[in-house]
Amino acid sequence: MEEIDIMKYKNQLIEMAVEYSPKLILAILTLIIGLWVIKVFIKGIGKVLVNRNVDPSLSPFLKSVFGSVLKAMLIISVIGMVGIKMTSFVAILGAAGLAVGLALQGTLSNFAGGVMILLFKPFKVGQFIDAMGYMGTVKEIQIFNTILSTPDNKRIIIPNGGLANSSMTNISAEETRRVDWTFGIGYGDNYDKAKEVLMSYIKEDIRIMSEPAAFIALSALGDSSVNIVVRVWVNAPDYWGVFFDMNEKVYKGFAKEGLNIPFPQMDVHVHKT
């Protein structure tokens, strides 16, 4: 009786070996080849990130994420090849992932926004931007937040999720900028003389570019003044210096040239009855 049981178990083992050996060998080969392919793929991802000048702090993280996801998929496939049913496990894993994703929805959105910003570089550290109702110089781009420093030295922390999905103005992205003014002179003042004075101020300032040429025109007949628009082009770092200096020149110089800078005023007529 014992011999019959031993033979029975031996036959079962042989049958299992015959049935599962090819699957096991194939699974092991798939695992070895798959790990090699993933390694080569991750190296390729690393080269692409370097060529695209992706932030050095982001590259290792992205390679780790890609590698972990691909290895998890490979292991699930290998286990399935052996014959172990993975349907329930995958379902539980998916449900858990969904729950975690919902709980961390805002954080994941900020993370995704940070990745997009670091990959596509709509702005860089040191540039001046206007975004989410704030203006400032970009001091640091983190995975979850971007840190700005305002002109009055306030520290602004903006979540990357909103920053990556909203309108943003990169003020210092271009090398040159246009400076605009509107100056008013009184009704009855000499408009041609005002143009000549403004043009002389423009030519005196070596920071103002000759090309594109300066633009001066009468823009509007206001309630209290004749408004003259002036537009010039400068290198981006010179913008505010040129803007403030021109305002000072006009304020000090127009009076010497017999040009009045009017201010809003109201005439009140009193009628005796």
pLDDT-based confidence at residue 194 (cuts at 50, 70, 90)? very high
Asked if CATH classification 3.30.70.100 holds for the domain at 176-256, the reply, yes or no, is: yes
Q: How buried is 256 (Cβ within 10 angstroms: 0-12 exposed, 13-18 middle, 19+ buried)?
A: exposed
Q: Which residue has the higher pLDDT, 57 or 153?
A: 153
Average pLDDT over residues 142-157: 90
Query: For residues 110 and 150, what is the distance between their CA atoms, to the nearest angstrom?
Result: 22
pLDDT higher than 80, residue 267: no
Distances (CA, A) of 92 to 82, 108, 244: 20, 21, 65
pLDDT-based confidence at residue 196 (cuts at 50, 70, 90)? very high
Which of 24-38, 126-140, 147-161 shows the lowest mean pLDDT across its residues? Answer: 24-38
- The pLDDT tens digits for 10-48 are 666 666 555 566 777 777 888 888 888 888 888 888 788
Half-sphere exposure of 159 (CA within 13 A, CB side): 11
Element (H, E) at 148: strand 145-149
Domain residue extents for the chain: 2-103, 122-170, 176-256
pLDDT higher than 70, residue 91: no
Half-sphere exposure of 234 (CA within 13 A, CB side): 20
Which of 32-41, 148-157, 175-184 shows the lowest mean pLDDT across its residues? Answer: 32-41
Query: For residues 23 and 225, what is the distance between their CA atoms, to the nearest angstrom?
Result: 90
pTM of the model: 0.61
> Which CATH number applies to 2-103?
1.10.287.1260
Residue 222 in 3-state DSSP?
coil
Give the CA-trace dihedral at 115, 120, 124, 129, to 10 degrees: -100
Check: CB of residue 163 under 8 Å from CB of residue 148: no
> Which CATH number applies to 122-170?
2.30.30.60
Residue 63 in 3-state DSSP?
helix
- The pLDDT tens digits for 244-257 are 999 999 999 998 99
